[in-house]
């Protein structure tokens, strides 16, 4: 029986050496950058190849440029799948939220061309960053233990509802650009100094509440963590513009809730940045097999 091979995209933030050890193929996101006024020539970069997350966020904060995810395209996935079919006839292609980019759609286009030659299942993770990485690592672990496609996919689907991402953002122009809020809401929110508290639910970014200060926005993040009775993994998502002092305050408050835990700090990438902008801070929570105390 052929071993199941795992493919993902660079929104999973898996280091190359870890991906190699797990046998995971990571396809880089293609990011197109346009200026705010649309007058400058568009630029196209490969995430993790000639585009650094921190540099992108700093440039977004400075120039208010707009990144968008335009790849991998079906042609790129076709090449990747073609190479992998030499090794196996079973592939699970597990990708960042289909509601936030066209990556899953492009992967599905490519997968259809291999029907009858290779069984390729494209899965929407409904998440990104550490959330996607956790799912990919779990899928790879089972694949390396010779689990079948059905077992791996069932396991991954069971984990998706246990991953949570929440964030706050300082400015509203990117939320307006992504049509998450209306122009009128953006203008009024900016005038009132509102900082939206956002959650990714079923793959979509949903505005949940409003905060009137950075301190209250930080309170919202800490309160969210306090809702869980069990947390297996947790990480802080930061932009390049948040100061080390603010991150330290958040870590200190989280440590008071979860003493002895590690709180890795991850710079979020172009996919999330394209929707919330360069001024955000958030959390990824994986509750594992535990349950939240309340919703």
Are 147 and 30 part of one and the same domain? Answer: yes
User: Confidence class of residue 292 from pLDDT cuts 50, 70 and 90?
Assistant: very low
Residue 74 belongs to some domain of the structure: yes
What is the rounded CA–CA span in Å between residue 94 and residue 9? 8
CATH of the domain at 99: 3.40.50.10170
Q: In which element (H, E) is residue 272 found?
A: helix 270-276
Number of domains in the chain: 2
- The pLDDT tens digits of the residues spanning 5-58 come to 999 999 999 999 999 999 999 999 999 998 876 666 689 999 988 888 988 999
Q: Which of 133, 161, 189 delimits the end of a domain?
A: 161
Residue 147 belongs to some domain of the structure: yes
- The pLDDT tens digits of the residues spanning 218-274 come to 899 999 999 999 999 999 999 876 677 888 999 999 999 999 999 999 999 999 999
- The pLDDT tens digits of the residues spanning 164-175 come to 999 999 888 888
Are 144 and 167 part of one and the same domain? Answer: no
Cβ neighbours for 44, distance < 8 A, ≥ 6 positions apart: 30, 31, 32, 33, 70
Residue 293 belongs to some domain of the structure: no
* Cα 287 to Cα 123, 133, 212, 229, 233, distances in angstroms: 21, 14, 29, 8, 7
Are 146 and 213 part of one and the same domain? Answer: no
Are 91 and 216 part of one and the same domain? Answer: no
Q: Which domain holds residue 203?
A: 162-286
Alpha carbons within 13 A on the beta-carbon side of 239: 26
Residue 154 burial (CB count, 10 A): 12
> Which is nearest to 63 in space by CA: 225, 214, 174?
174
Residue 192 phi, psi dihedral angles, 5° rounding: -90, -5
Q: Which of 161, 178, 195 delimits the end of a domain?
A: 161
Q: Which of 161, 190, 207 delimits the end of a domain?
A: 161
């Amino acid at each position: 029986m052929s071993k199941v091979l795992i493919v993902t995209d660079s929104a999973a933030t898996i280091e190359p050496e870890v991906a190699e050890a797990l046998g995971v193929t990571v396809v880089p996101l293609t990011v197109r950058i346009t200026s705010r006024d649309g007058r400058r020539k568009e630029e196209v970069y490969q995430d993790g190849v000639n585009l650094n997350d921190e540099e992108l966020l700093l440039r977004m904060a400075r120039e208010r440029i707009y990144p968008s995810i335009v790849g991998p395209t079906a042609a790129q996935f076709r090449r990747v799948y073609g190479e992998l079919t030499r090794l196996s006839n079973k592939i699970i292609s597990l990708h960042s939220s289909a509601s936030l980019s066209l990556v899953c759609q492009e992967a599905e286009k490519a997968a259809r061309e291999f029907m009858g030659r290779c069984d390729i299942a494209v899965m929407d993770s409904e998440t990104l960053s550490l959330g996607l990485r956790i799912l990919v690592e779990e899928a790879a672990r089972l694949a390396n233990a010779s689990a079948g496609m059905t077992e791996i996919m069932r396991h991954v689907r069971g984990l998706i509802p246990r991953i949570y991402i929440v964030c706050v953002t300082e400015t509203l122009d990117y939320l307006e650009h992504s049509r998450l809020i209306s122009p009128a809401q953006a203008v009024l929110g900016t005038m009132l100094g509102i900082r939206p508290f956002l959650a990714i639910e079923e793959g979509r970014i949903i505005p949940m509440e409003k905060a009137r200060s950075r301190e209250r926005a930080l309170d919202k993040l800490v309160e969210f963590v306090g809702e869980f009775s069990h947390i297996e993994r947790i990480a802080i998502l930061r932009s390049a513009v948040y100061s080390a002092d603010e991150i330290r305050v958040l870590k200190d408050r989280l440590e008071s809730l979860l003493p002895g835990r590690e709180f890795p700090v991850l710079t979020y990438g172009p996919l999330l940045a394209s929707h919330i902008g360069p001024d955000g801070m958030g959390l990824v929570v994986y509750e594992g097999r535990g349950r939240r105390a309340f919703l």
